Amino acid sequence: MTRLPVLKTYKLYIGGKFPRSESGRSYPVSSPSGVVNAAQGSRKDVRDAVVAARAAFGGWSRATAYNRGQVLYRVAELLEGRRAEFGRLAPDVDEAIDRWVWYAGWTDKIAQVAGNANPVAGPYFNLSVPEPTGVVGILAPQSSPLLGLVSVLAPAILTGNTAVVIASESSPLAAVALAEVLATSDVPGGVVNIVTGRTAELAPPLAGHLDVNALDLAGAPVDLAASLEGLAAENLKRVVRRADPEPDWTAEPALDRVLAFTETKTVWHPIGV
Amino acid sequence: MTATAPPPYSDVTRSEASLRRFLHGLPGVDQVGAEARAAMLGTRSIKTTAKAWALDLAIRMIDLTTLEGADTPGKVRALCAKGRHPGPGSPPVAAICVYGDMVPTAVDALRGSGVHVAAVATAFPSGRAALDVKLADTRHAVADGADEIDMVIDRGAFLSGRHQQVYDEIVAVKDACGGAHLKVILETGELSTYDNVRRASWLAMLAGADFIKTSTGKVSPAATLPVTLVMLEAVRDFRDATGRQVGMKPAGGIRTAKDAIKYLVLVNETTGEDWLSPDWFRFGASSLLNDLLMQRDKLATGHYSGPDYVTLD
């Protein structure tokens, strides 16, 4: 007797749940097993994702840096266990896992690098510390569905930001698989939200949303990048501009994307007499 | 009590027995049907200009409420200022709803604005006090300038079948209100069944309520769509029978503009347009206003707004 294979429904990842698109739409994408239908998100899905990200921000940003590091490292452990599955969806799986571990290690070290005890002319301690910016909208790289995604997502959330990710339009399945890993890890629901669909449709409402504090335009379409920056200016979002040509995601990682989504808080504290 | 219900129900309130016979003779509520109808009406899509109209109407219908032990005159004044001018271009709310002791503060802050002052009275929210205490509570709030009184019924008496006592109490409070409007809170979350909600609605209307209101907001579940549907049917049928129109106020748990619009659809489809006015339909809410303002912003600018752009209450 032949067995009927159980096919997967590819859905969005919002607030720790896997809803279908509010619009009910889907769109065809290619996968190793042929053409499959991914959820085609709408601007309302983007809105719901931002609400979920905002709700998760308090808890995630208040968690200790050490705890965030543990939680993110756990994600790498789970990725390792699903290497074969990810290997079918994207190249560079090992690099992506290593990249995730590299960023996870930075959670409790970034303050030592980006913070400082400032010398001041008075009886005060003067300390500068990096703090998360808030909700970060991320247009994931279009051509590198897993390594590129990890390289923009992990640096954003490690400092305590929460993220709304628009996955690569043509190859979103690695992002959906990553969502499944995140859902079974200890990352609280809403810290990462992943919407699949047409980037040109989803990016403008994300860029114009007044409750989003920063925007990573890594995967923005060339002809939209400028207008997205314009929309982001409305509430002075921090913006990482679209790089041309697209960065080599296999290159050695750096801290620029971590620091792009932090704010520096400086505290003056009187020195006891 | 000497007051009698309006014709054709004058006989109903003659005795405990006749009252019980009438209330228990009301047709039973089809629970599955009511829930299905409320859910079905909740799927209506209201867009663009209709949505803009509905958002502004919902704002005009809000009884902006603060009923906390931690209420201070400063907080009430801030709420009143928000009620008068919720946001750029937005209409004012219908009323500010506070505890009795905050009425003078609210009256002072709302003078000349046309925004009403509603006070909860009669040992809100439990209603567990002697009748003369409840009446004194009511008279005090009215004397201080409240023009709307939100009373709670004695659920203990209602649930143990002492309908006459509940009736008499509402009549007495209505009398103590003088010219102030009386809203009668049924606290549907404690009434267990839709049949009881229908009975309590009729009882309150027979006793002279100007509004019937679902909940105190202190008990869960508070207002729900099916409960509101049952109560709206009661006010509709009551006007058909007596010619007197009674208002309706769902309160508690209505937090989003989407919810509010579902209620407006329910009103329009159940009682018709006559009730689509702040004089006949109110929302008892606090956080709802912020969401309505954010949605209003979205329609005006095209961008989704966020909680950074409205006040923290």
Query: A34-92, pLDDT tens digit by residue?
Result: 999 999 999 999 999 999 999 999 999 999 999 999 999 999 999 999 999 999 999 99
Nearest Cβ partner for B305 among A205, A210, A231? A210
Yes or no: say if B251 and B245 are a contact pair by the CB < 8 Å rule: no
Task: Tell me if the domain spanning B12-301 has CATH number 3.20.20.70.
Answer: yes
Position A121 pLDDT exceeds 80? yes
Position B2 pLDDT exceeds 70? no
Report yes or no: B47 at the A interface, CB cutoff 8 Å: no
Amino acid type, B255? R
- Asked if the ipTM is above 0.95, the reply is no
> What's the DSSP call for residue A109?
T
Report the candidate in A210, A165, A208 with the shortest Cα–Cα distance to residue A187: A165
Which residues in chain A have their CB less than 8 angstroms from residue B302's CB? Answer: 208
Q: Is B258 known to be catalytic? A: no
Confidence band (pLDDT; 50, 70, 90) for B1?
A: very low
Which residues in chain A have their CB less than 8 angstroms from residue B308's CB? Answer: 210-211
Which residue in the list B63, B137, B147, B150 is annotated as catalytic? B150
Confidence band (pLDDT; 50, 70, 90) for B274?
A: very high
Position A273 pLDDT exceeds 70? no
At B242-257, the pLDDT tens digits run 999 999 999 999 999 9
Q: CA neighbours within 13 Å on the CB side: how many for A37?
A: 11
pLDDT for the residue numbered B6? 85
Confidence band (pLDDT; 50, 70, 90) for B27?
A: very high
pLDDT for the residue numbered B3? 61
Token pair listed for A57: 């921000």
Q: Is B47 known to be catalytic? A: no
Amino acid type, A101? V
Report yes or no: B307 at the A interface, CB cutoff 8 Å: yes
| β-pair partners for B248 | B212, B281
Report the candidate in B281, B284, B170 with the shortest Cα–Cα distance to residue B219: B284
Mean pLDDT for chain B overall:
95
Flag if B304 and A54 touch (Cβ within 8 Å): no
Rounded mean pLDDT of B92-105?
A: 97
Which residue in the list B82, B134, B183, B213 is annotated as catalytic? B213
Task: Give phi and psi for B301, each to the nearest 5.
Answer: -105, -20
Domains, chain A, with CATH or none = 39-270 (3.40.605.10)
User: What is d(CA A84, CA B187) in angstroms, rounded to the nearest whole number?
Assistant: 57
